[in-house]
Structure 1
């Protein structure tokens, strides 16, 4: 099964349901472990992607696509580790960007966001990548690339410079227009391909002003811009961070968490912020007639949260499949959480908007997790899995479209910053395994029984140094494909699987 986007699908469920080789019986230290390590030229902050049976260089290969903060894109033979092709998204005479004095992505910034692949576009299939670079004159560039999956060649007359402007008097504005200044931004949130359009969301280098919040849209066929939206056009900040998680979708609208920034507590007749500033919100964006915020939820204390840097936008969003409540009504839900140690569950058809006197939201959980969310939730078998920082990895059953307020099971281990972004492998409803990559001086891959997180099946520190792979990487999620588990690190990708094939 191909893995073409962050957490496997546009809902960001993180479930890989076609895994037939890895089972709860064979994922253990006796039969499972590190098989190899594919070295690259920089930190791997984006989730690797996988395609099966790709015709490359006269042969057919399972291909692992890896991008780095040194602005490189690698196509590896996923089974042998041979480099099939490699390109740089920096143009001739350019280098990856410096870190702008911010320690969040350092020492260089090249490709941070997880790309997205469409096997149906171009002559062989296309991978869409955003690369940041700096030219010899000191100017910064953000470009959208479409790369042929078999050669790495640029498609559709790319790359395209990402530019934009928006009416407003906000941070960095000039004469009533807010410019998109490439050097002030980084594309951290994973790319979304939706109905023939590539969507990107933009954050800053730490909280270095001037910056505002942006969503950009480009045609997947031509790379030409099709829309631009500023989320704080008359304010400041409001970047889209989400710890690298993806802009999520239900197939029609786009959902994400916006970072700390200006919100207008005075609303208009449509219950929208009076100046169009949506900082620190749970947002629903639709592309027609133009790219705009169609609905939103803001906590009643959203202004205080932003002022205290307790922003909602530190975690990712999960769009749940349709659920039926106790009265037989179909519910369309999404869940996310940030630094306030709360989980917010919104009704995607009516998200709750803003009321300073209290929240009008489908469900919110204030005592379920005890650490901030710097990761995305996952969904499998009527259960949502969350891995807050400083807390346990937890399983939250969803029954009759209502979240349990206490975990049905949890890991024995608690997780240091930034917590974990769990992913699931299973063969349909059988052999569900929850995988988590641990950050730290010695990183680790963990595997748990999805039906009982107290049962740890495996971790890569169980066998001394045999399966260890060096330092962990802050926001990385494991990726599972074809019986193997791939974990991005600061210097490459660690490959795990069953010994002896």
Structure 2
């Protein structure tokens, strides 16, 4: 077959063997509780992923202008098939059969808030369910926040009428487990002057459930309006708000009753490019953005100093037995005031808690990572984050600062096997792998061990590096990354001679911003910027494996031709022809085989 481009479709009738599914595996939260982004339980075998057996199983689209900023969740109710739970910007929730994509249930929980009501286009058209929900496997309940209007009445528009509703729905039916909870108007526990106003605030980070309490972070819409970064906690047994913690509190924080005053509440949004809140069980970790209050100026302060203006900070909140939150520790970079002035948002990258059984060393039993717009990766002691100007000479007291001079959105991923690695993908740059090592006294030190040849999109939207292994085995690590231009990318997790070796992925459109692939059993799910949801996995039952073509540079007005070499992966009864999806290219089928083609036969 003489061909002029690599994008084509083969029409074949083949005899295919179906492989039985393995035991079910679920993703009922965004990655893992600590946001380490290492997942070992999804049967992602690199020998299958890096082969023609792995490909697109199905895809589905829904309403016009409907998008999925909340990541999908994968869950298996008792005695039922594994399902996919979707929540959209239009406040639609759906369940699909995770294997086939068949729609099981669908419901719009409330009219969505309209983007036209705010002069911020980060999320176009509608702003409904944006933060990733969480499913409680003990009760089959999915929890999430939906942005809507007062009384869920679409005619009551405008910022002042915006409301956030907290829902708990049965994943089997999508019906409410209890009446939706209005959280607007609840005062902050650490500054009662400040109360929650849903119209001026955005619920972006993935939700986290600790015991009976579901925690969520809130930030601003392009830093507009009078907002304060907030953590809300709702006790789902009591059906009530039990925690409302404000990032900026006290007399040094901003306070204004005029909701139109931009950052009048002090700012300090918690958004983390959608990355979830992290926890180790009794502590909550997150990173905040630009703030207006500056209690810390030139005087060094410990992380237990009681600072109440925690914009541009890594924060550790202690979770009380009643679900209440109190500051236990924090880290605020020595130059955070300059970061505020330059919009070097510290909170764009979220926080990663590393596996303490691997990532530890002298004086450090648990490590944490963060990075943001300011071009630095901070490696911290999670039990002593570093306070403010606690280092020698008034600089940062952290384990290590890696200066990259490149902005990061979405956070880091980690791999605790084969010596221990973490990964970072700055905007417009390659993906970097850093390996754990130790200095002469046993203190942990990371060094760059590898880099990808592929460069990420030169715009905001790169996802979170995420690593899977096949049943937790060394040597099977795969590093995954979503890209708003390139789609889905993957590499072998351990660099080879300083290079991350790529794994060819099935082509999907540019993926929606700040995503990560969500995994089921040998399958993964992603969504693109047009609202299409894809399922990739195996067995894909491809009848043929054909070589891709690279024509290199072809001058305008010139032509270039090449042959496609194909191998039959199974017995084919008839081959009807090959087509191209782009009118600028053509294919000639004059050498195409006709009739029966035996498995294993190669042809052009």
Using the size of structure 1 for normalisation, the TM-score is 0.88
Does residue 504 of structure 2 align to residue 458 of structure 1?
yes
Structure 1 312/231 Cα, relative in aligned 2: closer, same or farther at 3 Å? same
Does residue 239 of structure 2 align to residue 223 of structure 1?
yes
Output the CA distance in 2 between the equivalents of 1:326 and 1:271: 21
Structure 1 376/203 Cα, relative in aligned 2: closer, same or farther at 3 Å? same
- After superposition, the C-alpha distances for 1:209-264 in whole angstroms (9 at most, x for unaligned) are 31111111111323311111111122311000100000101111000110011331
Q: Is 1:54–1:63's contact at 8 Å kept on the other side of the alignment?
A: no
- In structure 2, the partner of 1:173 is none
Alignment of 1:179-258 (within 5 A): 179-233=195-249, 234-235=253-254, 236-258=266-288
Output the CA distance in 2 between the equivalents of 1:426 and 1:492: 27
- In structure 1, the partner of 2:411 is 376
Q: Is 1:37–1:494's contact at 8 Å kept on the other side of the alignment?
A: yes
Output the CA distance in 2 between the equivalents of 1:145 and 1:297: 33
Output the CA distance in 1 between the equivalents of 2:27 and 2:489: 20
Could you say what secondary structure the match of 1:186 adopts?
A: coil
Residue 269 of structure 1 deviates from its aligned partner by 8.4
Higher gyration radius (CA): 2
- In structure 1, the partner of 2:429 is 391
Residue 52 of structure 1 deviates from its aligned partner by 2.7
Q: Is 1:241–1:314's contact at 8 Å kept on the other side of the alignment?
A: yes
Output the CA distance in 2 between the equivalents of 1:456 and 1:492: 25
Q: Is 1:396–1:404's contact at 8 Å kept on the other side of the alignment?
A: no
Output the CA distance in 1 between the equivalents of 2:443 and 2:109: 45
Output the CA distance in 1 between the equivalents of 2:273 and 2:360: 34
Structure 1 consecutive aligned stretches of length 4 or more whose deviation exceeds 4 Å: 266-275, 323-330, 400-405
Using the TM superposition, name which of 156-165 and 206-215 deviates more: 156-165
- In structure 2, the partner of 1:172 is none
- In structure 2, the partner of 1:69 is 89
Q: Is 1:334–1:347's contact at 8 Å kept on the other side of the alignment?
A: yes
Structure 1 168/160 Cα, relative in aligned 2: closer, same or farther at 3 Å? closer
Could you say what secondary structure the match of 1:395 adopts?
A: strand
Q: Which structure carries more strand by proportion?
A: 1
Could you say what secondary structure the match of 2:431 adopts?
A: strand
Output the CA distance in 1 between the equivalents of 2:306 and 2:47: 57
- In structure 2, the partner of 1:320 is 354
Residue 165 of structure 1 deviates from its aligned partner by 1.7
Output the CA distance in 2 between the equivalents of 1:221 and 1:326: 37
- In structure 2, the partner of 1:436 is 481
Using the size of structure 2 for normalisation, the TM-score is 0.74
- In structure 2, the partner of 1:497 is 537
- In structure 2, the partner of 1:484 is 523
- In structure 1, the partner of 2:595 is none
Q: 1:102 aligns with which of 96, 120, 130?
A: 120
Q: Is 2:316–2:330's contact at 8 Å kept on the other side of the alignment?
A: yes
- In structure 1, the partner of 2:13 is none
Structure 1 166/77 Cα, relative in aligned 2: closer, same or farther at 3 Å? same
Q: 1:299 aligns with which of 311, 328, 333?
A: 333
Residue 330 of structure 1 deviates from its aligned partner by 5.3
Residue 179 of structure 1 deviates from its aligned partner by 2.2
Q: Is 2:303–2:384's contact at 8 Å kept on the other side of the alignment?
A: no
Using the TM superposition, name which of 37-46 and 237-246 deviates more: 37-46
- In structure 2, the partner of 1:43 is 67
Residue 366 of structure 1 deviates from its aligned partner by 3.2
Structure 1 477/404 Cα, relative in aligned 2: closer, same or farther at 3 Å? same
Could you say what secondary structure the match of 1:216 adopts?
A: strand
- In structure 2, the partner of 1:283 is 315
Gaps of 5+ in 2: 1-24, 255-265, 543-604
Output the CA distance in 1 between the equivalents of 2:388 and 2:73: 38
Residue 87 of structure 1 deviates from its aligned partner by 1.5
Residue 288 of structure 1 deviates from its aligned partner by 2.7
Output the CA distance in 1 between the equivalents of 2:433 and 2:302: 37
Residue 371 of structure 1 deviates from its aligned partner by 1.7
Output the CA distance in 1 between the equivalents of 2:446 and 2:112: 49
Structure 1 130/348 Cα, relative in aligned 2: closer, same or farther at 3 Å? same
Structure 1 273/203 Cα, relative in aligned 2: closer, same or farther at 3 Å? farther
- After superposition, the C-alpha distances for 1:258-283 in whole angstroms (9 at most, x for unaligned) are 00113311579876677611110011
Residue 391 of structure 1 deviates from its aligned partner by 2.0
Residue 187 of structure 1 deviates from its aligned partner by 0.2
- After superposition, the C-alpha distances for 1:346-385 in whole angstroms (9 at most, x for unaligned) are 2122111112853343323233x34211012112122112
Output the CA distance in 1 between the equivalents of 2:290 and 2:99: 43
Residue 459 of structure 1 deviates from its aligned partner by 2.7
Could you say what secondary structure the match of 1:456 adopts?
A: coil
Structure 1 223/393 Cα, relative in aligned 2: closer, same or farther at 3 Å? farther
- In structure 1, the partner of 2:598 is none
Output the CA distance in 1 between the equivalents of 2:222 and 2:232: 20
Residue 493 of structure 1 deviates from its aligned partner by 1.1
Alignment of 1:411-426 (within 5 A): 411-416=452-457, 417-418=459-460, 419-426=462-469
Q: Is 1:365–1:405's contact at 8 Å kept on the other side of the alignment?
A: no
Gaps of 5+ in 1: 170-175, 461-466
Could you say what secondary structure the match of 2:463 adopts?
A: coil
Structure 1 6/163 Cα, relative in aligned 2: closer, same or farther at 3 Å? farther
Output the CA distance in 2 between the equivalents of 1:312 and 1:259: 5
Q: Is 1:257–1:317's contact at 8 Å kept on the other side of the alignment?
A: yes
Could you say what secondary structure the match of 1:103 adopts?
A: coil
Task: Please tell me the root mean square deviation across aligned C-alpha atoms, in Å.
Answer: 2.4
Structure 1 353/75 Cα, relative in aligned 2: closer, same or farther at 3 Å? same
Using the TM superposition, name which of 379-388 and 323-332 deviates more: 323-332
Structure 1 298/161 Cα, relative in aligned 2: closer, same or farther at 3 Å? closer
Residue 390 of structure 1 deviates from its aligned partner by 2.0
Output the CA distance in 2 between the equivalents of 1:426 and 1:76: 26
Q: Is 2:219–2:270's contact at 8 Å kept on the other side of the alignment?
A: yes
